[in-house]
């Protein structure tokens, strides 16, 4: 490249080879040094000092078809040689891989991915915007081949990495831009938080002592709560809440804004190690000034640094293990999704695009957001609307339910996650739990007074809405995600009354079995297996089969309350519970604080997102759709708001007629309860060749018949081979692995043990999700090859191995079970769990199953019949005041305690 005035150009030409990689820098960038030993015509490396570390910036180019100059090998060698330094690698790699947004992968892309995984490098410009565009033979071809990678040590300092489509208008390549911050890596977030106390550092003994003092002095313990009216109850709850705040301030630190960041696993022991190392460092400098010998001090510092590093790694790894152990099959998506949200820093508030216009100021913006999240009720348009509206205030003609028991209240509050953000009262679940354990009778009396008055306290009806931008949105000013935070004590009352609703509905046989979501003893595997079984049975009978996946527009936000109360009367909801729910939805308020402007709105419809009763109330409304009479040959099921209609018939004409008739009935039901089905997101899939010719319509719009649909996270293809699902889940697991490594580095650090924990606790569970449905597909050779290829990437990362190591060797070194065998194991276990049959047990021994919910006793009559004795707190062997029961147990391998069960001869039937 020719010289350009005012710019420094680093390039390293070699004989007979054209320069294809260079680095151009402005002089004010600092003193850059070209590194000759790593550079040649296709690879340019420069070095700059950042603090106490070196930063290597490299530019590379690899020919599209054949890497004749072995550039990839030289890139790998460069990364290995500079593993202790910061590294940024940019270039045209001519490789495709889903890791950086390509639809498919090619051998070059897989080679690049392996090298990056093996050298702790992370992709910066992943996305859907192409970096290369051209037209050949009249066709527009695009790809993502220009990439930026950064080492984990510098990755967090890179921001705003994006493709600029306007920078190089005459080139087939688009520029990729990024910002590298070398000075301030911990940018603060000015998010409004409802956290006030550091409850993880609480002294609970002092908390209880302060509670005792304030409650006694206030006279709250002498109040007869059962005689209080609604307004008096509100005042009493406010007074009790203030006392809890007093106890919090006396027993735990208060959070301060602008506090210094420390890892969540940081301990006092580590702090002492850190201070000792710093002190030795200062002593060495002082000794230098005085001309004193340094050997002993240097040796002592090295030993102390080694101890510090070992303790640092041990503490962070143990904390990471504990963190990942919360990840299991049932919560695989909840924990992983929290980790995988984009690590981009929160955007400051700005005006937003609503439709084709933009808001002008903070007031208009906050109101527009609340209106979008919580829409108003619409006018009644058909006779059924008027009928439901008329019956809205008619209570159910049933008896009152029993009062809440102390055991119920304690069980519900102890089941809450203390990590969840509190409401505007700033009381987290662990604080409320300690209050409940100290004064269970007081809290139970408050809840029972709410039940007897059929009154939900006004202060518990306020939800504080927090805006969360959705990742990977093309328009950064278009927000469509939110999370409301409600009072813990309000959630407790919700949990208590909704448990009664579920019990009564289940016991009365009013809960539809074809609803698989938000219910006990059901899961996505059961839902998908049920659908597949119907499809296979119809195909065996030589019938034509089609399935339609239905989507409801903003389902939870548009749940209509008159329809809810009509269904509550249908399931014979107890009268006092009905009245409490009736007051629960009355005058509910949502508050949004945006750009310093606070907006409050009163809700008129919708199930409150974040509430504990919302999912069950939604199921109660939707059960009516599952119960409507559809034409013969139709099957409809749901998982929460995801509906699937399966239709089978002897010929295509009958199939088309039946499906369209069923869809019309579904649309009519939706209109009757003010719910709208979106035909744009509705998809149909045909499982037989002739069924593909059926013309299906919805709202006079023709539905597309696709070759595959995504059902509850599983890609279901028309031939039920699940090959595309395996490819999809492996690509997803690779992206998850990459992001988790990025997420974990600044908090726990990346070492082989942590990588293995990520793989076993998250990646394996992500890949084997619902393997009970599709696990048999792994017996095919092509699927085994895909699994082996992907697992190799994870294993290389775990031990930082060279890419020349064989797959068998790298799996043996990491002790990773081959994925095809792991999937088969999960497949068999899930089938055994669902069927209750296994060949590994004798015929006279049956597999135990949970008791169906309809056979359980009333929640108020469930008493605690066990006690958990912690080590050092065992009961005495003899106590003259107690009658003890002797328990005889078999010896066990792990002596961590024992468990015993009691069998009662009779159960109370209510």
Is residue 191 over pLDDT 80? no
- The pLDDT value recorded for residue 908 is 42
Is residue 884 over pLDDT 60? no
The model's pLDDT over 655-683, given as tens digits with 9 standing for 90+, comes to 999 999 999 999 999 999 999 998 888 99
User: In angstroms, rounded to a whole number, what is the distance separating the alpha carbons of residues 488 and 422?
Assistant: 7
Looking at the fold, whether 105 and 239 belong to one and the same domain comes out as no
Is residue 495 over pLDDT 80? yes
- By CB neighbour count within 10 A (0-12 exposed, 13-18 middle, 19+ buried), where does 564 fall? buried
The model's pLDDT over 436-477, given as tens digits with 9 standing for 90+, comes to 999 999 999 999 999 999 999 999 998 887 766 554 444 444
- Quick check: is 863 in a domain? no
Is residue 339 over pLDDT 70? no
Average pLDDT over residues 538-566: 91
Is residue 23 over pLDDT 70? yes
User: In angstroms, rounded to a whole number, what is the distance separating the alpha carbons of residues 201 and 428?
Assistant: 13
- Name residues whose C-beta falls within 8 Å of residue 695's C-beta, 6 or more positions apart in sequence: 656, 702
CA atoms within 13 A on the CB side of 189: 9
Looking at the fold, whether 29 and 136 belong to one and the same domain comes out as yes
Looking at the fold, whether 44 and 120 belong to one and the same domain comes out as yes
User: In angstroms, rounded to a whole number, what is the distance separating the alpha carbons of residues 408 and 441?
Assistant: 11
Q: What is the 3-state secondary structure (H, E, C) of 74-122?
A: HHHHHHHHCCCCEEEEEEECCCCCHHHCCCCCCHHHHHHHHHHHHCCEE
- Quick check: is 232 in a domain? yes
Looking at the fold, whether 15 and 147 belong to one and the same domain comes out as yes
- Name residues whose C-beta falls within 8 Å of residue 762's C-beta, 6 or more positions apart in sequence: 324, 327, 332, 335, 336, 339, 736, 737, 740
> What's the pTM value of the predicted model, to 2 decimals?
0.76
- The pLDDT value recorded for residue 348 is 44
User: In angstroms, rounded to a whole number, what is the distance separating the alpha carbons of residues 487 and 313?
Assistant: 38
- Quick check: is 256 in a domain? no
- Quick check: is 27 in a domain? yes
**Which is nearest to 595 in space by CA: 351, 386, 790, 798?**
351
User: In angstroms, rounded to a whole number, what is the distance separating the alpha carbons of residues 108 and 96?
Assistant: 7
Looking at the fold, whether 92 and 223 belong to one and the same domain comes out as no
- The pLDDT value recorded for residue 494 is 94
Is residue 867 over pLDDT 60? no
Task: Choose one of 308, 340, 372: the last residue of a domain.
Answer: 340
| Confidence category of residue 762, pLDDT binned at 50, 70, 90 | confident
Measured from the Cβ of residue 294, the count of other Cβ atoms closer than 10 Å reads 14
The model's pLDDT over 605-624, given as tens digits with 9 standing for 90+, comes to 887 666 788 889 999 999 99
Is residue 718 over pLDDT 70? yes
- Name residues whose C-beta falls within 8 Å of residue 342's C-beta, 6 or more positions apart in sequence: 471, 472
Is residue 706 over pLDDT 90? yes
| Confidence category of residue 597, pLDDT binned at 50, 70, 90 | confident
- pLDDT higher for 743 or 700? 700
- The pLDDT value recorded for residue 394 is 92
- The vertex-477 CA angle with 472 and 482, nearest 5°, equals 75
Is residue 335 over pLDDT 60? no
Looking at the fold, whether 32 and 176 belong to one and the same domain comes out as yes
Can you read off the two tokens belonging to residue 606?
């919708």
Average pLDDT over residues 630-635: 95
**Out of 186-195, 473-482, 851-860, 874-883, which region has the weakest mean confidence (pLDDT)?**
473-482
- For the chain, helix (H) and strand (E) counts, in that order, are 26, 27
Looking at the fold, whether 41 and 173 belong to one and the same domain comes out as yes
Looking at the fold, whether 247 and 274 belong to one and the same domain comes out as no
Average pLDDT over residues 273-294: 82
Can you read off the two tokens belonging to residue 423?
């409401």
- Name residues whose C-beta falls within 8 Å of residue 401's C-beta, 6 or more positions apart in sequence: 451, 500, 504, 574, 576, 577, 860
CA atoms within 13 A on the CB side of 424: 15
Per the CB < 8 A criterion, the answer to whether 601 and 463 are in contact is no
- Quick check: is 103 in a domain? yes
Looking at the fold, whether 37 and 174 belong to one and the same domain comes out as yes
Looking at the fold, whether 216 and 287 belong to one and the same domain comes out as no
Can you read off the two tokens belonging to residue 333?
């998506």
User: In angstroms, rounded to a whole number, what is the distance separating the alpha carbons of residues 782 and 785?
Assistant: 5
**Out of 138-152, 323-337, 698-712, which region has the weakest mean confidence (pLDDT)?**
323-337
CA 579 and chain centroid, separation: 35
DSSP E strands in 286-376: the ranges are 353-354, 357-358
Which domain does 292 fall in, by range? Answer: 268-340
Can you read off the two tokens belonging to residue 659?
């499906």
Average pLDDT over residues 165-175: 76
Evaluate the CA torsion angle 276, 278, 284, 288 in order and state its sign.
negative
Average pLDDT over residues 636-653: 94
| Confidence category of residue 560, pLDDT binned at 50, 70, 90 | very high
- Quick check: is 501 in a domain? no
- The pLDDT value recorded for residue 17 is 82
- The pLDDT value recorded for residue 609 is 66
Is residue 200 over pLDDT 90? no
Per the CB < 8 A criterion, the answer to whether 38 and 23 are in contact is no
| Confidence category of residue 134, pLDDT binned at 50, 70, 90 | confident
Helices 652-672, 614-627: crossing angle, 10 deg rounding: 130
Task: Choose one of 318, 340, 362: the last residue of a domain.
Answer: 340
Mean pLDDT of all residues belonging to the chain: 84
Q: For residue 56, give the CATH number of its domain.
A: 3.60.10.10
Is residue 635 over pLDDT 70? yes
Per the CB < 8 A criterion, the answer to whether 535 and 646 are in contact is yes
Looking at the fold, whether 95 and 219 belong to one and the same domain comes out as no
Looking at the fold, whether 59 and 158 belong to one and the same domain comes out as yes
- Quick check: is 637 in a domain? no
Task: Choose one of 145, 180, 215: the last residue of a domain.
Answer: 180
Per the CB < 8 A criterion, the answer to whether 590 and 463 are in contact is yes
Q: What is the 3-state secondary structure (H, E, C) of 239-289?
A: HHHHHHHHHHHHHCCECCCCCCCCCCCCCHHHHHHHHHHHHHHHHHHHHHH
Is residue 893 over pLDDT 50? no
What is the total count of domains within the chain? 3
Is residue 332 over pLDDT 80? no
**Out of 92-96, 365-369, 444-448, 475-479, which region has the weakest mean confidence (pLDDT)?**
475-479
Integer CA distances (angstroms), 846 to 832, 837, 902, in order: 11, 8, 20
- Quick check: is 73 in a domain? yes
**Which is nearest to 762 in space by CA: 792, 783, 797, 732?**
732
- The pLDDT value recorded for residue 159 is 87
User: In angstroms, rounded to a whole number, what is the distance separating the alpha carbons of residues 582 and 564?
Assistant: 10
- Name residues whose C-beta falls within 8 Å of residue 174's C-beta, 6 or more positions apart in sequence: 129, 130, 131, 132, 133, 146, 163, 164, 165, 167, 168
């Amino acid at each position: 490249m020719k010289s350009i005035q005012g710019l420094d150009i680093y390039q390293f030409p070699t004989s007979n080879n054209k320069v294809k990689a260079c680095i151009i820098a402005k002089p004010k960038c600092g003193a850059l040094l070209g590194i000759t030993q790593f550079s040649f015509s296709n690879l340019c490396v420069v070095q700059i000092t950042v603090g106490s570390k070196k930063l290597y910036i490299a530019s590379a180019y690899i020919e599209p078809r054949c890497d004749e100059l072995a550039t990839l090998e030289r890139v790998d060698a460069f990364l290995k040689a500079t593993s202790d330094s910061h590294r940024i690698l940019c270039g045209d790699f001519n490789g495709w891989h889903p890791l950086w947004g390509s639809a498919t992968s090619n051998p070059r892309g897989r080679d690049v991915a392996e090298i990056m995984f093996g050298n702790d490098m992370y992709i910066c410009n992943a996305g859907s915007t192409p970096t290369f565009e051209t037209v050949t033979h009249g066709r527009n071809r695009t790809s993502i081949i220009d990439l930026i990678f950064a080492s984990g040590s510098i990755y967090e300092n890179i921001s705003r990495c994006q493709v600029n489509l306007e920078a190089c208008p005459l080139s087939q390549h688009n520029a990729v831009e990024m910002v590298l911050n070398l000075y301030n890596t911990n940018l603060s977030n000015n998010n409004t938080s409802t956290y006030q106390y550091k409850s993880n550092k609480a002294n609970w003994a002092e908390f209880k002592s302060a509670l005792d003092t304030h409650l006694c002095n206030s006279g709250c313990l002498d109040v007869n709560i059962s005689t209080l009216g609604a307004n008096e109850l509100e005042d009493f709850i406010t007074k009790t809440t203030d006392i809890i705040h007093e106890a919090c301030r006396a027993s735990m630190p208060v959070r301060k804004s602008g506090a210094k960041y420390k890892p969540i696993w940081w301990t006092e022991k580590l702090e002492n190690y850190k201070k000792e190392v710093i002190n030795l460092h200062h002593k060495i400098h002082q000794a230098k000034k005085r001309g004193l010998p340094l050997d002993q001090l240097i040796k002592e510092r090295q030993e102390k640094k080694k101890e510090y590093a070992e303790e640092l790694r041990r503490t962070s790894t143990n904390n990471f293990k504990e963190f990942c152990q919360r990840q299991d099959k049932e919560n695989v998506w909840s924990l992983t999704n929290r980790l995988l949200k984009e690590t981009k820093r929160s955007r400051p508030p700005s005006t937003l695009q609503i439709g084709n216009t933009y808001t002008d100021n903070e007031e208009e913006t906050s109101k527009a957001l609340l209106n979008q999240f919580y829409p108003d009720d619409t006018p009644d348009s058909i006779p059924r609307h008027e009928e439901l509206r008329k019956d809205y205030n008619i209570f159910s003609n049933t008896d009152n339910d029993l009062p809440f028991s102390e055991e119920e209240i304690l069980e519900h509050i102890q089941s809450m996650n203390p990590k969840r953000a509190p409401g505007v009262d700033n009381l987290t679940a662990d604080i409320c739990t300690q209050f409940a354990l100290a004064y269970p009778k007081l809290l139970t009396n408050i809840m029972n007074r709410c039940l007897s008055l059929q009154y939900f306290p006004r202060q518990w009806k306020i939800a504080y809405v927090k805006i969360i931008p959705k990742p990977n949105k093309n328009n950064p000013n278009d927000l469509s995600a939110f999370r409301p935070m409600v009072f813990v004590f309000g959630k407790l009352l919700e949990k208590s009354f909704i448990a009664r609703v579920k019990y009564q509905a289940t016991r009365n046989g009013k809960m539809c079995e074809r609803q698989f979501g938000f219910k006990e003893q059901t899961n996505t595997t059961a839902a998908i297996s049920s659908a597949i079984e119907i499809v296979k049975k119809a195909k065996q009978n030589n019938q034509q089969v089609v399935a339609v996946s239905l989507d409801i527009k903003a389902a939870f936000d548009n749940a209509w309350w008159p329809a809810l109360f009509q269904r509550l009367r249908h399931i014979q909801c107890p009268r006092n519970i009905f009245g409490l729910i009736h007051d629960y939805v009355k005058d509910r308020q949502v508050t949004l604080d945006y750009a310093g402007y606070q907006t409050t709105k009163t809700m008129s419809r919708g199930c409150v997102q974040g509430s504990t009763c919302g999912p069950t109330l939604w199921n109660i409304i939707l059960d009516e759709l599952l119960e409507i009479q559809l034409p013969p040959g139709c099957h409809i099921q749901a998982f929460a708001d995801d509906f699937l209609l399966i239709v089978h018939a002897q010929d295509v004409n009958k199939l088309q007629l039946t499906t369209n008739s069923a869809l019309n009935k579904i649309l009519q039901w939706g209109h009757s309860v003010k719910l709208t089905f979106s035909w744009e997101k509705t998809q149909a899939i045909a499982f037989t060749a002739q069924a593909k010719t059926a013309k299906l319509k919805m709202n006079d719009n023709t539905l597309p018949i696709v070759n595959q649909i995504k059902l509850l996270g599983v890609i279901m293809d028309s031939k039920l081979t699940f090959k595309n699902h395996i490819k999809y889940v492996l690509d997803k697991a690779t992206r998850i692995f990459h992001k988790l490594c990025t997420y974990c580095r600044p908090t726990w650090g990346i070492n082989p043990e942590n990588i293995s924990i990520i793989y076993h606790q998250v990646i394996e569970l992500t890949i084997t999700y619902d393997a009970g449905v599709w696990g048999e597909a792994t017996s095919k050779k092509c699927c085994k090859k895909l699994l082996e290829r992907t697992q190799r990437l994870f294993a290389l990362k775990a031990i930082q191995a060279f890419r020349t190591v064989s797959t068998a060797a790298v799996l043996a070194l990491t002790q990773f079970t081959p994925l095809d065998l792991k999937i088969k194991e999960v497949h068999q276990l899930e089938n055994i769990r669902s069927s209750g049959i296994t060949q590994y047990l004798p015929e006279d021994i049956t597999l135990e199953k949970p008791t169906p919910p309809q056979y359980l006793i009333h929640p108020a009559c469930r008493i605690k019949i066990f006690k958990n004795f912690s080590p050092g707190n065992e009961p005495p062997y003899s106590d003259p005041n107690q009658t003890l029961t002797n328990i005889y147990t078999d010896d066990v391998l792990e002596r961590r305690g024992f468990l015993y069960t009691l069998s009662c001869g009779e159960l109370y039937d209510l």
